[in-house]
Amino acid sequence: MADSQQNDLSLVAAIDLGSNSFHMVLARVDQGEIRILERLGEKVQLAAGLDENRMLSDEAMQRGLDCLRRFAQLINGLPQGAVRVVGTNALREARNRGQFIRQVQQILGHRTEVVSGREEARLIYLGVAHTLADDSGRRLVADIGGGSTEFIVGERFESLLRESLSVGCVSFSRKFFTDGKITAARYSQAYTAARLELMNIEKAIHRLGWTEAVGASGTIRAIGQCIQAAGKGQGEVSREGLQWLKRKVLKATHVDKLDIQGLKADRQPILPAGLAILEAMFDALGIENMAHSEGAMREGVLYDLLGRQQHEDVRERTLSALMERYHVDSEQAARVEAKAQRLMRKVEGQWHLSISKQVDLLTWAARVHEVGLDIAHHQFHKHGAYLIEHSDLPGFSRQDQQALALLVRGHRRNLPNAERLGEFGEEAGTLLRLCMILRLAILYHHIRGNQDMPELAVEAGQDYLILYFPDGWLEANPLTQADFDQEALYWAKADYRLTVR
């Protein structure tokens, strides 16, 4: 379901917390089309602040926060749902990302998501596809980031293959060119490391085939600009131009000596690594020429946001496909979903559950709570939670998948314990209550089929909930009575009181 707070938004913004640079795009929505008003970008090199224990340094976090304080001025006053803030590889890797994300949300006033590599790839392709001329050809899109490189094969606006590899211009610079020295041996090591990673995906890309290669990153654009400044192209990257630039880079011997027309100073330290990755890509995938697109992940985030507003939410398609794949009883899921939503409306005031994201999570969980049954009935709630947390679910952030997995895991047997809930920080209490509502809806429809079930009166408080059934109904339906009696015992372990009358 589309986020209810995203209706009728005329101004929208996307912020990309990249491993190398932070970017923001502000746009106006006009007749269903996006008109870019402002683009901002700053080199933060967040990935450079990751140590061997995958901890972000205070200095790297401060660089990012300082940048976001400047970005924040442009989005002050924009409502919830009008701004999407998305983190990528560096935040996927950082063990202390929660500390950084909390500060980001305080500065921007909007929720920050961390997306998987494949979701990042989907968003990149969406941005590129909306920027290039519409044609029916198959495209290969590549984006060399600071900590990862994404590859997508797609047609028009649909991606057919989405992959993310752990090769990036910042991480490779630290690994192979840490002191700035450039040698043929170091370059060869970086190239070989990239080729080894590419071996994991090159067969799949060759099997699909493509007619046009497009680069979407600042690294590929910078390389194209260097080649163009030398009179060897119009901004695209050719194999000949790539080899010319490689010779120039190796001749320099140090990043400080990279005196190449068209190369900006802030690109010098990461050019050798980016070049080695791009050459490996050309050789592994048989690329001869690569055009460049101004569209990238931030534009893709905007178009994804617009799709949610226009009720073309990719998350809906994702869940429908998941339900079909694992043979979910869609009629039972619909009954549980409807009951969960009715219960939520009755307690939303007392339990503070009116935010659209909470409605979405409960709705999604009701739809997919039985996906694990297709694996095995024994502990199917655990199977379902694993599938949801670890599957490639286009449109969902990692936080969304983890929260959804928590609800599915907690829909039967014991409620999520304090340790598990603690991983969700301030959202812990809300997720516990959503889990409780889901469980009640499932118990209410324990007997499958279109049963004649009574409407409930509900009373809720800080740590209790009372359900009122019609007089005599529970006595006439002892299975339901037993279900709710057992449920009250589970709630008691979580310091909540469930009473059924």
Indicate if 343 and 389 belong to the same structural domain: yes
Considering the domain boundaries, does residue 473 fall inside one? no
Question: For tokens 């009116």, what's the residue?
Answer: 354
Indicate if 317 and 304 belong to the same structural domain: no
Indicate if 332 and 304 belong to the same structural domain: no
Q: To the nearest 10°, report the CA torsion of 255, 260, 264, 266.
A: 0
271 Rama sector, left if φ>0, alpha if ψ -120 to 50, beta otherwise: alpha
d(CA 453, CA 324) in angstroms, rounded, equals: 27
Indicate if 424 and 318 belong to the same structural domain: yes
Residues near 251 by beta carbon (within 8 Å), at least 6 away in sequence: none
Q: Tell me if 107 sits within 8 A of 64, measured CB to CB.
A: no
Indicate if 277 and 179 belong to the same structural domain: yes
Indicate if 304 and 317 belong to the same structural domain: no
Q: Tell me if 442 sits within 8 A of 369, measured CB to CB.
A: yes
Indicate if 77 and 174 belong to the same structural domain: no
**Domain containing residue 415: CATH number:** 1.10.3210.10
- The predicted structure's pLDDT at residue 4: 40
Q: What are the φ and ψ backbone dihedral angles of 454, each rounded to 5 degrees?
A: -80, 155
- The predicted structure's pLDDT at residue 136: 72
Measuring CA to CA, which residue among 402, 406, 379, 380 is closest to residue 389? 402
Considering the domain boundaries, does residue 108 fall inside one? yes
Indicate if 321 and 426 belong to the same structural domain: yes
Considering the domain boundaries, does residue 490 fall inside one? no
d(CA 81, CA 109) in angstroms, rounded, equals: 11
Measuring CA to CA, which residue among 329, 305, 308 is closest to residue 317? 308
The token duo for 339 is 């009951």
Considering the domain boundaries, does residue 275 fall inside one? yes
Indicate if 208 and 167 belong to the same structural domain: yes
Considering the domain boundaries, does residue 429 fall inside one? yes
Considering the domain boundaries, does residue 482 fall inside one? no
Residue type, 275: L
Indicate if 150 and 95 belong to the same structural domain: no
**Domain containing residue 195: CATH number:** 3.30.420.150
Q: Which structural domain range is residue 351 located in?
A: 313-452
CA distances from 465 to 448, 482, 501 (A): 25, 17, 11
CB neighbourhood size of 77 (10 A): 8
Q: How far is CA 134 from the centre of its chain?
A: 26
CA distances from 486 to 216, 421, 460 (A): 55, 22, 19
- The predicted structure's pLDDT at residue 8: 54
For the chain, list residues with pLDDT below 70.
Answer: 1-8, 311
Q: What helix, strand, coil percent values describe the chain, rounded to 5?
A: 55, 15, 30
Indicate if 212 and 241 belong to the same structural domain: yes
Measuring CA to CA, which residue among 459, 495, 454 is closest to residue 473? 454
Indicate if 343 and 420 belong to the same structural domain: yes
Question: For tokens 């990461």, what's the residue?
Answer: 270
Considering the domain boundaries, does residue 499 fall inside one? no
Question: Which of 308, 343, 358 delimits the end of a domain?
Answer: 308
Number of domains in the chain: 3
Q: Tell me if 436 sits within 8 A of 407, measured CB to CB.
A: no
**Domain containing residue 40: CATH number:** 3.30.420.40
Considering the domain boundaries, does residue 495 fall inside one? no
- The predicted structure's pLDDT at residue 6: 43
